[in-house]
Amino acid sequence: MNGEYCAEIIGVGTELLLGNIVNTDARDISEALSALGINVYWHTVVGDNRERLKAAVEIAKARADIIITTGGLGPTCDDLTKQTLAECFGLPLVFHEEEAEKIRAYFKSAGSSAMPESNLSQALLPEGCTVLRNHNGTAPGCAFFSGGKHVLMLPGPPRELRVMLEREALPYLRRLSDSVIVSHDIRLFGIGESAAEERLRDLMLSISNPTLAPYAGTGEVRLRVTAKAKSAAEAEELMSPLIEKVKAVVGEYIYGIDVPSLEAAAFNLLKARRLVFASAESCTGGLIGKRITDIPGASEVFKGGVIAYSNEVKSKVLGVSPDTLERYGAVSRETALEMAAGVRKLAGADIALSSTGICGPASDSRGRPVGLGFIALSSPEGGFCREIRMGSDRDRGRTVAAHHAFDMLIKYLSGTLR
């Protein structure tokens, strides 16, 4: 296979057609296939309806080389993707005892002794297919080649889809290709997507292999460097001078390459230095703790913390002086610094982070604007505080506040926190 082959993604699910959910699966798969050099030319969505799904598959067979379906692999009677696709390609469904065993084991480990028998229908798979393992659920996916078409069936729930795509489907698709595509993800914090793009535009437009493309995340920016070559080593050689050029232009904003998040970058630095931190959270309400403990092994770098959502907890548990709260308010540089110092002492940690801010909907009693926040870091070398603007969107604002906390931690550990 080469890059001239084209793919269609068929989403199966009435909930998509009712507008209950947005089709992030198609986006995720499209992004991944683009990175592999496979052209996605069509997205289609049909409901849980055998006739319309069949018609959609016939259309896809006539125009695409690779057909990827999402959804409809579950145990309920709505879930008809495997049956319909197998029928369209003239393949019988075969019972996989090995998959059935995995499904039984999954229910056992989840503590449900009584597994409904209908779940075993998930172990029915097209004859001769490659099983794509579901690391986050019971319904396995599958892949087969038939009638000149490559067909992959993936689950609908995004958390199942993403892991199966990454660990099972992409390795399968990569084997079809005679060239390799290698990517690196340069992660930036503290600069907007359009500002990053403006600085890098001439560089981006002057190259074709490797390529450089920006993607916006919530409050952060990813730059993807991609090269196509005969071998991974050759691709790396193509990319390395480009990555150096990017560093020369936006280096101050880069917090990591191929690291999944700010908290993961902080985790790696803390672990290497054998340092532990604690958190005192007001506006982020537990999000800093939640994000660091998303990482397996977090207990090596995180002692815990206090969610100080009321002034009572701020003063009684963290020891913020009532005078500070009175004079400067809960949302102030002074309170943020005392919160961080307080939790550092309380938890016996090397470093501590704190957050306080106005997430809205209303501004505070002192009339400070929604979106104002302070993030502080307490360390043996003293305290640091950053004033931030979180904007008026609650979710985004809280995410950005936690971003800043981890960014300060990374900069502190790298000796660049000012």
Residues between 359 and 388 that touch a copy of itself (CB under 8 A): 359-361, 371, 388
Q: What's the Cα-to-Cα distance from 298 to each of 202, 274, 278, 347, 380, rounded to whole Å?
A: 41, 12, 12, 15, 22
In 47-98 the beta strands, taken as DSSP E runs, fall at: 66-70, 93-95
Nearer to a copy of itself, 126 or 137 (CB): 137
Cis upstream peptide for 171 (omega within 30°): no
Figure out which of the listed residues 12, 36, 56, 151 binds a copy of itself, where binding follows CB under 8 A: 56
Burial class (CB in 10 A: 0-12, 13-18, 19+), 325: middle
DSSP string for 174-241? HTT-SSEEEEEEEEEESS-HHHHHHHHHHHHHT-SSSEEEEEE-SSEEEEEEEEEESSHHHHHHHHHH
Cβ 240 to a copy of itself shortest distance, Å: 21
Q: Which of residues 385-414 bind a copy of itself (CB under 8 A)?
A: 388-389, 391-396, 398
Query: Of residues 1, 21, 207, 269, which one binds a copy of itself by CB under 8 A?
Result: 21
Is the CB of 244 or the CB of 294 nearer to a copy of itself?
A: 294
CB of 395 to a copy of itself, least distance (A): 7
- Given the complex with a copy of itself, which of 126 and 289 has the nearer CB atom? 289
The answer to whether the CB of 238 falls within 8 A of the CB of 230 is no
List binders of a copy of itself among 197-216 (CB under 8 A). 197-198, 201, 213-216
59 binds a copy of itself (CB under 8 A): yes
Question: Total residues contacting a copy of itself (rule CB under 8 A)?
Answer: 113
- Please identify which residue in the block is written with the tokens 């963290």: 318
The footprint of a copy of itself on residues 221-240 (CB under 8 A) is: 224
Cα 40 to Cα 279: distance, rounded to the nearest angstrom: 44
Q: Which of residues 320-339 bind a copy of itself (CB under 8 A)?
A: none
CB-nearer residue toward a copy of itself: 145 or 238: 238
Which residues between 154 and 173 bind a copy of itself (CB under 8 A)?
157, 159
Pairwise CA distance, residues 62 & 149, whole Å: 10
Identified binder of a copy of itself from the candidate list 254, 346, 353, 358, rule CB under 8 A: 346
299 interacts with a copy of itself by CB under 8 A: yes
Residue 91 or 141 having the CB closest to a copy of itself: 141
Contact 97, 122 (CB under 8 A): no
- The minimum distance between CB 177 and a copy of itself, in angstroms, equals 16
The binder of a copy of itself chosen from 1, 170, 195, 325 (CB under 8 A): 195
CB-nearer residue toward a copy of itself: 160 or 334: 160
Between 308 and 377, name the residue whose CB sits nearer to a copy of itself.
Answer: 308
**Tokens for 79?**
């879930």
Among residues 193, 268, 275, 333, the one that binds a copy of itself under rule CB under 8 A: 193
* Residues between 237 and 296 that touch a copy of itself (CB under 8 A): 279, 281, 284-294, 296
Please list every residue from 117 through 156 that binds a copy of itself, using CB under 8 A.
118-119, 135-136
Q: Is 63 a binder of a copy of itself (CB under 8 A)? A: yes
Contact stretch for a copy of itself (CB under 8 A) within 42-50, 90-98, 123-131, 141-149: 42-50
> Which residues have C-beta within 8 Å of that of residue 283, sequence separation ≥ 6?
331, 355, 356, 357, 358, 359, 373, 390, 397, 398, 401
Q: Which DSSP helix (H) or strand (E) runs through 396?
A: helix 394-413
Residue type, 183: S
The token pair at 327 is: 């004079």
Q: With CB under 8 A as the contact rule, which of the stretches 44-52, 92-100, 232-240, 260-268 interacts with a copy of itself?
A: 44-52
Token pair 């018609």 in the structure block, residue = 55
Which residues, 88 to 117, sit near a copy of itself by CB under 8 A?
106, 109-112, 114, 116
Q: State the Cα–Cα distance between residues 186 and 46, nearest whole angstrom.
A: 36
Q: Using CB under 8 A, which of 129, 227, 347, 385 touches a copy of itself?
A: 347
- Report the interhelical angle of 394-413 vs 262-273 (nearest 10°): 30
Considering the complex, state which of residue 202 and residue 326 has its C-beta at the smaller distance from a copy of itself.
202
Rounded Cα gap, residues 224 and 240, in angstroms = 13
47 interacts with a copy of itself by CB under 8 A: yes
